[in-house]
Structure formats: C-alpha cells, structure tokens
Amino acid sequence: MKLKKNYQLKNFRFALVILVLAISIIGVLVVGSAKPSLQNRQIFGVVLGITAMLIVALFDYNWVLGFYWLMYAGNIILLVLVKLIGKEVNGAQRWIDLKFTTIQPSDFTKIFMILFFAKFIMNHEEDINELKTILKCVVLILPSLVLIFVQPNLSNTICIAALFCVLMFMGGLSYKFIRNVLLIVIPLVILFLFIAVQPNQPFLKGYQQRRILSWLEPDKYADKEAYQQINSLMAIGSGQATGKGLNNTGATSVKNGNFISEPQTDFIFAIIGEELGFVGCCIVIILLLLIVIQCIIVGMKAQNLSGQLICGGVAALIGIQSFINISVATRIFPNTGIPLPFVSYGLTSIVSFYIGIGLVLNVGLQPKKY
C-alpha cells in the first residue's frame, strides 16, 4: 500500500475547501470582535489548520488506517497525561501546557476515534451485529469516555458517545438492535435526569447539577448559573435582522458589558447573533450544513466502508458539535462548554477539524471506480 498516490485534480473537492475557508474567515472576524487580543492567534490557528489539511489530504487514508492501533494507544496516552500533568483551569483539568501553547487532547480524540473505528468496523463488517463484536466496540470506546468524563468534560463525553453511535449505525448495526437499545436507554436517561436533580445525587458534580437546574428553572438561577445563557439570548435577540456590526462600541452591547464570560469560545454564537444579526446566524448555520452535506456526498462515493465511515464521522462530528454549541447559546440545552466548529477560538479545536476535512478530501481523491 502506497503512502501517497497519483491523484487527479478533478477529484479535489474545491467546494468543500471554499466553504471551510468562508466560515473560518467569519470565525476570525467574530473572535477578533469578541476578544481583539486573540485574533492573531485565531489567524495562526487557521493557517496551521489549512497546512495540516493539505498535508493530510495527500496521504492515502488506507495507509493511515494501517496505524489504527497506534493511534488508539496514542490517544489513551494523551488522555492519561492530561490527568497526570494537565493544566487545571476553573476546576477542570483538560489541557496540556507545552510552554508555547496549550492543547486539549479530547479534541484530537474525536479524530482518532473516527479513524480507529473506521478501520475496526470495516474489519468486522461481516459480524458487526454479533454481540461479541458490539461488546468489543463498547469496551474500546469506554476508556476515552471515562478519561474525558473525569477531567471533568461532560460535553465532549456526550459528543464522542454520540459520534460513536453514528459510526456504529453507519457500519451496519441492525435497526432491530438499535430499537432494543433505545427501548432501554430512553427510560434510563429519563431516570438519570430525575435522580440528577435530587439533593445528594451521586452522578454529577455540584456545578453540573446546578447547570441542569438552572436550565429547568432559569428565573431561580438568573443571577448565577443561568446568567450566561439568559444574556446569550438577550445578545442574539438584540442583534435583530442585521446586527449591530462587528467591533461595535455601543454601551448597550451585551458583549461590551462583559455579561458573557469567554464569549470567544462556548458562546461565540451569541456574538454572531448580536453583531451579525439573524442574517449572520443563518449564514453560519447554512455554511456548517453545507460542509456536512459535502462530507456526506464524498462519503457516498468512497471506495470502501472505511472511507464512508471517515466522511460520515467527520460530518457527524461537525453536525453534533454545532448543534450542541448553538443549542447551549439559545438555551435549548443546559450550559455545557463546547466550541463551534471552525468559528470558536481554540488552536486544537481548529486544527483537529481541519485534519478531519483533510481526511475527507483524501477520501474524495480516491473515488469508487464504477
């Protein structure tokens, strides 16, 4: 198997690259408006991401998948290092300090898991519905979920768990099995939520429980846990149709009044709503949707199941993470921090998503032969 192949330019998905660059430019502008001191670092992250994307796009993904167990081990090692030497910020230990920058390994976990299960599921394509194979898959994803959950990082735990379910479904998991699982999981989730809001519950940390309670009773927690989400809704609503404009200095701005902490990351969508308005919000959502659709289209033309899973996995990751981020900013979900793909500030987040797009581009360069 060759490291690189002779690709044809006609198979390169320029439309996908243009869409990703367009939303990244919006990200640079909005991050610069939310926190001007971070705009240059955001630009550096985008440039680094583009470089990574182009390099990854050249390497045969089938060759890359040959190292799937090495990637799995590397991911676990990184997550263990977070627990051992990780940098703690606001009670969470999620980052590794490299002196010149910090990285959040859980962002790379998503890409590693897409690659690992793309190969593992393809190897078990014939017996994916056997209980033994399903249990193997569950056992293999559990270490990552546990290590991320204890950081604590509930949002990324949920995101990766959802991504895993999508990969299993795309790999051929039977509808009958999915139905049976849902019949068990849905009542358990309802029971979990009921217990989670009770005093002295054993599952969640105090701040996690308060976030759920503030989502259910925002008026009661308006000055504390619900404060950011309430102000996020105010910011989005105040932008009306076309927004107040980037870098505005209006005294009535929610951003300028510092009513939302870290607006450049988890609540970047609130800044988009306030400064670019309803039109800006729609543009961002449409761009993300088109990127997801492009990834799916590439996957439909992939030469094998692993290529389909890579494209579907990247599409699912972008869709799931976008949905969670926007839902938090609009108070559809409880407050849980997760970046908006290609838009929010964060070096590892940007680079990891660009690596994902690079993998999709490589799959596209090797279409199925009819």
SS (H, E, C) 231-268: HHHHHHHHCCCCCCCCCCCCCCCCCCCCCCCCCCCCCH
- 87-89 and 102-103: which strand pairing? unpaired
What pLDDT is attached to residue 152?
A: 82
In this structure, what are the phi and psi dihedrals at residue 97, rounded to the nearest 5 degrees?
A: -85, 120
Mean pLDDT of 174-178: 84
> Whole-number mean pLDDT of the chain?
88
Position 245 confidence tier, pLDDT thresholds 50, 70, 90: confident
Strand partners, 284: none
Higher per-residue confidence, 180 vs 305: 305
Query: For residue 87, what pLDDT is reported?
Result: 83
Q: Is 316 exposed, middle or buried (0-12, 13-18, 19+ CB in 10 A)?
A: buried
Q: Where are the alpha helices (DSSP H) in the chain?
A: 14-34, 39-58, 61-64, 68-85, 105-123, 131-149, 154-170, 175-196, 206-216, 227-238, 268-300, 305-329, 347-364
By percentage, how much of the chain surpasses pLDDT 70? 89
Q: In this model, does residue 1 exceed pLDDT 60?
A: no
Phi then psi for residue 147, to 5 deg, are -65, -30
Residues forming beta bridges with residue 367, ordered by sequence position:
302
Query: Which residues does 41 contact at the CB level (< 8 Å), separation at least 6?
Result: 345, 347
Summarize pLDDT for 280-302 with one digit per residue, the tens: 999 999 999 999 999 999 999 99
Cα 290 to chain centroid, rounded: 16
Q: Compute the average pLDDT of residues 194-219.
A: 70
Q: Using the predicted structure, report yes or no on whether residue 366 has a pLDDT greater than 70.
A: yes
**How confident is the model at residue 181, as a pLDDT?**
81
Q: What is the pLDDT of residue 176?
A: 85
Reading the block at residue 91, the tokens are 């009670």
Residue 241 Cα to chain centre, angstroms: 28
Average pLDDT over residues 323-328: 92
Question: 198 or 265: which carries more pLDDT confidence?
Answer: 265
